Structures are given as structure tokens and as C-alpha cells.
Structure 1
Amino acid sequence: MKKILLPFVSMLLLLCVINQSAQAQLKRFSIGPFVEVGFPTGDFGDTHNTGYGIGLGADLKLVAGLTAVGSVSYFRFPGKTVSTPTGNYDVKSANVIPIRLGLRYNLISLLYVKVEGGTANFTGDYNNGVGALVAPGIGIRLLGLDVEAKYEAWFHDKTHGFFGLKAGYNF
């Protein structure tokens, strides 16, 4: 985990510094870090606790009110101990790298709706492999601060769905 996190954070800081110098030349593009929390629902909620993630997002303004968005993150949902009639067992943690692309539309100057799709790369011992994802959401963006509420579903063998809150800052 530490071997992955240190290069990821270093790259994130480097991209933020590069973006700051490019801001004067490229006003239609922004990039920045974010954190998110996910509250699992359905069967996923029966086997996993609240998850946390960190990532890097970018957006590119297309036309009035419409923006192309993308992000990559690392999400971890710790497993629970599940009781069955035959005994208890521990569920492995879900470690996932979601890669999302989508569109955001500003309803008014601060309020937006967004829909993203992409892949969910499951790593580690739990449900290893790649699945699809969809993530509709609604949010507020004030200057560089971005706060979003969303529902995200990952489709790999079964649906792994959760309600999420995401907060970030775009440079």
C-alpha cells in the first residue's frame, strides 16, 4: 500500500505544480486532487464497511455549460465479519481503482449534474478483475472547491453500489 501511495501522491503534487504554471495559458482546463467516502448499499453493504478514496480529477470546458470530466482514484472498502448458520467468516477488503470519464452540465452557475462511466479495476484478494462502472451525481462548484453527492455502481460478477460524497479542489 505504501509503495503505491507515495508515488501516487508525488505525481499528484507534480501535476498540481505544473498546472499552476499552465493556468495563465489554458483557462478552459483544470486539474486537482479529491477525497471521497462511500456508503455501501444492498449486498455490498452487508459485506463491507464504509469506504474511503483519494484521487485526481480533471475537466475541460467544451461549450456553454457543458464540460468533459475524467478521474482516476484508489478506493478501499474494508470487509466485515459475516455470520452464517454454519459460522462466522471474514470478508476481504475491496481495493478498487476506478477510472471514470463523463460529462458535467451546469444547471446554474454553481449547481451541476454529472454522469460518468468507466472501469473499476479490482485489486487484491477480493473479487480480482475489471468491471464496468456508472456514476450519476449532483454537485456544487465554487471557484476551485468542488463538492459532489453521487451514486456509483461497479459491475463485476455482481453489483457493488454505494452512495458517495466527494470533495476536491481544482487548480
Structure 2
Amino acid sequence: MKKALLTFSVMLFMFCLGAQTSQAQLKRFSLGPFVEAGFPTGNFSNTHNTGYGIGIGADIKLVAGLTAVGSVSYMYFGGKSQTDALGNRYDIANAKVIPIRLGLRYNLISILYVKVEGGTANFTGDYNNGVGALVAPGVGIRLLGLDVEAKYEAWFKDNTHGFFGLKAGYNF
């Protein structure tokens, strides 16, 4: 009886170890840093220069081809100098924003995906202080851990602050 119990325990342990190893190879969760550049459009381009950001993103595979994604980042858009009707020059305040995004990504083929995210844009500093909503559809390529994405992102607070963005990151 003791031999049978010992044999069963060893087999159960080996099975659990094998299942754990195969689960690690599936890699259902990843986390990694990214950098991004934003090119303002519309009225936002009249008041601000190209923006830059850094952040961290995570994703969890749900079902075949569908993944839940999330990220938090810091974006900075430098303000431009303007001239009023009387010829006086003034500076627009820099836009410092902390976007928090949640969304879904769908793989069209093994490396090509489409993604849509929504969330909040937390404006800090002197420019448009407060919280607004955001939406960010995009398309990208993910090869091994390298992730490159092109997107359009719009922040809604008082008026629309939109930009085309390029994002590059690595997921572990």
C-alpha cells in the first residue's frame, strides 16, 4: 500500500511539474516598457509640438486571438508660442498627461493585430488641469517580445486633443 501511494504521489508530482512547464511555455501574461511619440492633429497641432512619452503595458491572453491589454504612461507635449491680434506674444503651457488605458487586441494573423483602448487622460500642470476620457484605436506588429504600433489617440476634456502616435516596446 505504501509503495502504491508513493508511486501515485511521484506520478502526480511529475504530472503537475509537466503541466507547470507547459503552462509557462504558453505565456498567457506579459509585461513590458514602451516609448511613444505623438504628432498632434487639429487644433492641438496649432498649440503644441510633437510629444514624447514612456510607459509600461501588460496583456493577458483570453481566447484564441483575443487579448486584454492595459497600460499607463506619461506624455509630454511642448507648448508653442502664439501671437494675439494686438501683436503680443505669449506661450501656451506644456501639456503633461498621464493616460491610463484598458482595451482589447485581436490578432488578424500571427504577428499582425488591431487594438482599441479606452480610459482616462489625467492632465497635470498648468495646461487644462483635470481628468478627461480617451479612445485609442491602432494597428501593430508583435514579433516575439518586440511590439510596434501605429495609432490615433484622442483625449476629450473641454475639446479634443488628438494625435497620431508611434509606439515601440518590449514585453517579457
Query: TM-score by structure 1 length?
Result: 0.85
Aligned-partner Cα distance in 2 for 1:26–1:51: 36
* 1:158-169 equivalence runs, <5 A: 158-169=159-170
Distance 1:109 1:26, change over 3 A: closer
Partner of 1:43: 43
**Inter-partner Cα distance in structure 2 for 1:165 and 1:155:** 20
Q: Match for residue 113 of structure 1?
A: 114
Letter in 2 for 1:48: H
| C-alpha distance in structure 1 between counterparts of 2:134 and 2:115, whole Å | 14
Residue identity over aligned pairs, in percent, reads: 83
The runs of 5 or more residues in structure 2 that have no matched partner are 1-22
Q: Aligned pair 1:148/2:149, yes or no?
A: yes
Q: Structure 2 matches for 1:6-155, cutoff 5 A?
A: 24=24, 27-86=27-86, 87-155=88-156
For normalisation by structure 2, the TM-score amounts to: 0.84
Cα 1:107–1:161 shift into 2, 3 Å = same
Deviates most, 124-133 or 23-32: 23-32
Q: Which entry has the higher C-alpha Rg, 1 or 2?
A: 2
Using the alignment, how far apart are the partners of 2:26 and 2:122 within structure 1?
32
SS in 1 for 2:45: helix
Structure 1 residue 116, shift from structure 2 partner: 0.1
Runs (4 or more) in structure 1 with deviation over 3 Å come to 23-26
Structure-2 separation of matches of 1:64 and 1:149: 23
Count residues in correspondence: 149
